[in-house]
């Protein structure tokens, strides 16, 4: 087994830095291009106020979901005792950083705000991630696989719920859905442990509460 190369002080500083950056929408990203930039200007529709409000509410939920993804990966990375897992989780959080930045940009374009409850989503998800990290690598990967699986399904629902005219949000969510499916498959291939049914149900319930709250605030 590879031993952690971070001291507890390193971990505390890293944890604080990661949390502050996530909540300030200033996370590290891979700088991949914004998916909606491929859309020709002629295809940009002007949304009416009802469509704009609906699109913003859904994108706020997705932004909050990406805050949770940051926290889950940060929590798992800091709690894992294996240096390679720590690094893998840190890299995964950077890849997810693209999604966070895209959702924020779309929310800005729609003239709306991120969820006011983001610090709460971050704290809760960080604790869940840390617990998964402490349980060991296979459980931790199982947790990643199940989370990503639920996110892929959730994004499918949102792709149907978005106003058809909002092509930018569609392109962002389609790219995110592809990425999340890859994250799920890579976790399974790396030896993810299948989670017990009750844990999956609890995860579904928790995400439903977040979705309901973030739609409004």
Comparing CB distances to Fe ion, the nearer of 47 and 173 is 173
Q: Least separation, in Å, of the C-beta of 173 and Fe ion?
A: 10
Selected from 105, 158, 170, 183, the binder of Fe ion by CB under 5 A is 183
Residue 115, C-beta contacts closer than 8 angstroms, at least 6 positions apart: 60, 61, 63, 64, 67, 121, 213, 214, 217
Residue 2, C-beta contacts closer than 8 angstroms, at least 6 positions apart: 82, 83, 84
Comparing CB distances to Fe ion, the nearer of 146 and 180 is 180
Q: Are 36 and 167 in contact (CB under 8 A)?
A: yes
Distance CA 131, CA 208 (A): 21
Distance CA 196, CA 199 (A): 5
Residue 35, C-beta contacts closer than 8 angstroms, at least 6 positions apart: 102, 171, 172, 174, 175
Give the x/- contact pattern for Fe ion in 54-73, rule: CB under 5 A: ---------------x----
Q: Least separation, in Å, of the C-beta of 199 and Fe ion?
A: 18
Q: Which stretch binds Fe ion (CB under 5 A): 76-84, 124-132, 172-180, 206-214?
A: 172-180
- Would you give the distance in Å from CA 206 to the centre of its chain? 14
Selected from 96, 137, 146, 166, the binder of Fe ion by CB under 5 A is 96
Distance CA 4, CA 8 (A): 10
Binding of residue 180 to Fe ion (CB under 5 A) = yes
Q: Which stretch binds Fe ion (CB under 5 A): 48-56, 97-105, 161-169, 187-195?
A: 97-105
Binding of residue 146 to Fe ion (CB under 5 A) = no
Comparing CB distances to Fe ion, the nearer of 96 and 166 is 96
Q: Which of residues 25-54 bind Fe ion (CB under 5 A)?
A: none
Q: Least separation, in Å, of the C-beta of 5 and Fe ion?
A: 25
Comparing CB distances to Fe ion, the nearer of 47 and 179 is 179
Binding of residue 99 to Fe ion (CB under 5 A) = yes
Q: Dig out the tokens for 3 from the structure.
A: 């031993």
The CB density around residue 102, as the number of other CB atoms within 10 Å, is 27
Comparing CB distances to Fe ion, the nearer of 137 and 146 is 146
Comparing CB distances to Fe ion, the nearer of 106 and 183 is 183
Using DSSP's 3-state secondary structure scheme, residue 116 falls into: coil
Residue ranges that bind Fe ion, judged by CB under 5 A = 69, 96, 99, 180, 183
């Amino acid at each position: 087994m590879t031993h952690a190369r971070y001291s507890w002080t390193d971990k505390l500083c890293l944890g604080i830095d990661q949390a502050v950056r996530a909540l300030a929408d200033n996370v590290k990203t891979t700088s991949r291009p914004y998916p909606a930039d491929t859309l020709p200007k002629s295809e940009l529709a002007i949304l009416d106020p009802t469509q704009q409000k609906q699109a913003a509410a859904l994108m706020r939920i997705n932004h909050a979901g990406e805050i949770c993804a940051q926290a889950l990966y940060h929590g798992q990375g800091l709690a894992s005792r294996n240096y390679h897992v720590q690094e893998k989780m840190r890299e995964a959080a950077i890849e997810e950083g693209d999604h966070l930045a895209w959702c924020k940009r779309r929310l800005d374009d729609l003239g709306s705000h991120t969820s006011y409850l983001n610090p709460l989503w971050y704290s809760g998800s960080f604790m869940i991630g840390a617990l998964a990290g402490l349980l060991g690598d296979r459980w931790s990967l199982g947790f990643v696989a199940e989370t990503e699986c639920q996110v892929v399904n959730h994004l499918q629902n949102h792709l149907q719920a978005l106003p058809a005219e909002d092509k930018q949000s569609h392109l962002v969510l389609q790219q995110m859905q592809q990425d999340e499916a890859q994250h799920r498959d890579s976790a399974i291939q790396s030896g993810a442990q299948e989670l017990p049914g009750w844990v999956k149900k609890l995860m579904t319930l928790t995400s439903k509460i977040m979705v309901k709250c973030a739609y409004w605030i």
